[in-house]
Amino acid sequence: MEFFKIRKDIPFMKNAIAFNAVSFITFVAAVFFLFSRGLHLSVEFTGGTLMEVSYAQAAELNMVRAQIAKLGFNDVQVQNFGTARDVMIRMPAAKGQSSAQQSEQVLAALKETDSSIQLRRTEFVGPQVGDELAIDGLKALAFVVVGIMIYLAIRFEWKFAVAAIIANLHDVVIILGFFAFFQWEFSLPVLAAVLAVLGYSVNESVVIFDRIRENFRRFRKMQTVEIIDNAITATISRTIITHGCTQLMVLSMLLFGGATLHYFALALTIGICFGIYSSVFVAAAIAMWLGIQREDLIKGQVVKVEGDSDDPNSGAVV
């Protein structure tokens, strides 16, 4: 079996402007929704109490809401979680009151009307922890960006590093845009997924850059644009198959992982789709516009020593 029978190099770079325009519009839309709607942050970030209770029969959400309102908690969200019998209750951190007691009060109140109720999970996060998590998340993001840039700058060249990071940060922003637009819950596992996607989709750009470098050595007469087109065409089959395999795993999580892993898997799915797009259409184009050329990659050493596979720059030997 073979999916990809490509006879000629596909002229990706000819349409680079069109592809990048699409990319840019999506990016702007994502930024717009991030600012206009904001992320629906989970209790971990905002601080507050989250409870998951399960009833013997389908739960009446309005009754649950009324009971909690009686306790004097404001701004409480009550919704079904997974099945009709499971209810998720979310309460913001109450000021001036020991919020660690919140969940017990609520459970006691709910038990009054229906003793069959079972507490499945509670989570209480103080406001100070939430702020820290947000800061730590940003620190992690900065660490990843800087780390990857330094690595790529050493292994390839700064133009590649800049191109790869721009392309992949744009993936991250688009994932966040989706979460803002649909108001999906942004929790810690989602943050982990976003950062994993950043590392993962840089892979994609690396594979293409690797091929570009190799082509520069191999085809000395080719123009930069042709070289990039050839590199992308040669790797496109691998790109789609790998991402397809990773997506199979993520799909399995989406189907079997239950509510806890739902948004995690969703973030990965978006990340994988846009990861392909950005690596193929955006990263290489940015590198091209930044003006990569043969001399950047092959520093004064045009004739290669054959078969020296320990040399990190070793590539094609023709």
Partner 1 sequence: MNRYAIWKYVVLGIALLLGAFYTLPNFYGEAPAVQISAAKATAKVDLGVQDRVESALKAADLAPELLALEGGSLKVRFDSTDAQIKAKDAIQQALVPDANDPSYVVALNLLARSPAWLSAMHAAPMYLGLDLRGGVHFMLQVDMPAALNKKAESLAGDIRSTLREKNVRHSGISRDGQKIEVRFRDMPTLEAAQRVIQEQFADLQMTASPDGAEFKLIATINPVASRRVQEQAIKQNITTLHNRINELGVAEPVIQQQGTDRIVVQLPGVQDTAKAKDILGRTATLEIRMVDDSAEARSAENSNGVVPFGTERFLERNGQAVIVKKQVILTGENLTDAQPGFDTQNQEAAVHLTLDAKGARIFKDVTRESVGKRMAILLFEKGKGEVVTAPVIRSEIGGGRVQISGRMTTVEANDTALLLRAGSLAAPMEIIEERTIGPSLGAENIAKGFNSVTWGFVAVTAFMCVYYMLFGVISSVALAVNLLLLVAVLSMLQATLTLPGMAAMALVLGMAIDANVLINERVREELRNGAAPQSAIHAGYDRAWATILDSNVTTLIAGLALLAFGSGPVRGFAVVHCLGILTSMFSAVFFSRGLVNLWYGRQKKLQSVSIGTVWRA
Distance CA 152, CA 146 (A): 10
3-state secondary structure of 50: strand
- Check binding of 134 to partner 1 (CB under 8 A): no
Using CB under 8 A as the criterion, what x/- string covers residues 93-112 for binding partner 1?
-------x--xx--------
Pick one of 233, 247, 269, 278: the residue that binds partner 1 (CB under 8 A). 247
Site for partner 1 in 38-77 (CB under 8 A): 44, 52
Nearest to 209 by CA among 154, 284, 278, 145: 284
| Sole window of 27-35, 128-136, 215-223, 282-290 interacting with partner 1 (rule: CB under 8 A) | 128-136
- Pull the structure tokens for residue 314: 């070793």
- Check binding of 80 to partner 1 (CB under 8 A): no
Amino acid at 172: V
Pick one of 125, 212, 270, 288: the residue that binds partner 1 (CB under 8 A). 125
Taking the least distance from each CB to partner 1, the nearer of 34 and 251 is: 251
Pick one of 34, 41, 134, 141: the residue that binds partner 1 (CB under 8 A). 141
Nearest to 278 by CA among 189, 187, 172, 191: 172
Taking the least distance from each CB to partner 1, the nearer of 198 and 232 is: 198
Q: Where are the alpha helices (DSSP H) in 83-126?
A: 102-113
Minimum Å gap between C-beta 276 and partner 1 is: 13
- Check binding of 245 to partner 1 (CB under 8 A): yes
| Sole window of 13-21, 178-186, 241-249, 282-290 interacting with partner 1 (rule: CB under 8 A) | 241-249
Minimum Å gap between C-beta 70 and partner 1 is: 20
- Check binding of 248 to partner 1 (CB under 8 A): yes
- Check binding of 84 to partner 1 (CB under 8 A): no
> Hey, which bits of 82-168 come out as E strands?
83-92, 118-125
- Check binding of 192 to partner 1 (CB under 8 A): yes
Distance CA 275, CA 206 (A): 12
User: How far, in whole angstroms, is CA 124 from its chain's centroid?
Assistant: 26
Give rounded-to-5 percent helix, strand, coil for the chain: 65, 10, 25
| Sole window of 113-121, 176-184, 277-285, 289-297 interacting with partner 1 (rule: CB under 8 A) | 113-121
Give whole-number Cα distances, 260 to 56, 87, 226, in Å: 21, 14, 46
Minimum Å gap between C-beta 318 and partner 1 is: 10
The position carrying tokens 């990048």 is: 20
Amino acid at 182: F
- Check binding of 163 to partner 1 (CB under 8 A): no
| Cβ neighbours of 164 (radius 10 Å) | 30
| Sole window of 62-70, 150-158, 224-232, 279-287 interacting with partner 1 (rule: CB under 8 A) | 150-158
Distance CA 206, CA 156 (A): 9
Site for partner 1 in 265-294 (CB under 8 A): 265, 268
